Amino acid sequence: MSAKSIDGRSIAAELEKKVAAEAAELSAAGITPGLAVVLVGDDPASRVYVNSKKKACLRCGIYSEEVKLPATATQAEIMAVIDQLNQRNDIHGILVQLPMPAGIDEHQIINCVHPSKDVDGFHPVNLGRLISDEPMFIPCTPAGVMDLIKSTGVEIKGKECVVVGRSLIVGKPVSFLLLREHGTVTIAHSRTANLAEVCRRADILVVGVGRPNLVTGNMIKPGAVVIDVGTNRVNNSLVGDVNFEEAAAVASYITPVPGGVGPMTIVKLMENTVLAARLTKKQHS
């Protein structure tokens, strides 16, 4: 078997057209969707991500503003900046670029973003809404993962779904989204006994732990859909958490790294920003 590669770039490009049309419609009604990105310090990977998001905003007709703070910024200074952004009517979404410098409480910073502007979907209110089956902003990477799975045409309902990773950014939200689609979900992690055996049960396997080539071909059920969320730099190249060549020989569909989940994360951020602006318009109409 040779797996079909799921082209995240082309799927994201199609969704981006839809987001741009919605942004243009809002702008014509007098509300230009606005996204503020808070960047603290000089992490090179964070700078690459922020630049990608700024370019996506430009393509979608979303106003973007970068708030750059030095690595020496205190917790109070960062929270004061976020509080100012919370109060601005022209900013509908606030994204705090992680990771933060050492000594900063990231949870406290995320909690400082008003839930109505939390376009990353990480605030406890928005995570709680997701768990309660009343989502407002779905975290961007998990939302992108679901679109990629659905693009294959494989029905989630009744399938064995295994999620490797239990982070609030990927693993836990993906698990709840799969449950919403009536999948039978197992969450595996670094302390899971017989990880290979658990993975082999999966009709749909989502891997997001940040360990290069953790999942090998002999851990994959023949015909499975494999979504690789990992992005790891090895010898100046990007590789996923799944050994692509081995997995592609067994799976029916698989996402490449790069070019799989990454582009979906960015376009889902754009989609959430437009949704935030639309909700603002609804409140004031």
* Active site residue ranges: 53, 97, 120
Peptide bond into 142 cis (omega under 30): no
CA-only gyration radius of the chain, Å: 19
Peptide bond into 99 cis (omega under 30): yes
Question: Cα dist. 241→26, 146, 207, 211, 226 in Å?
Answer: 39, 18, 7, 5, 11
In angstroms, the CA 141 to CA 129 distance is 17
In angstroms, the CA 168 to CA 132 distance is 15
In angstroms, the CA 264 to CA 189 distance is 24
In angstroms, the CA 245 to CA 106 distance is 36
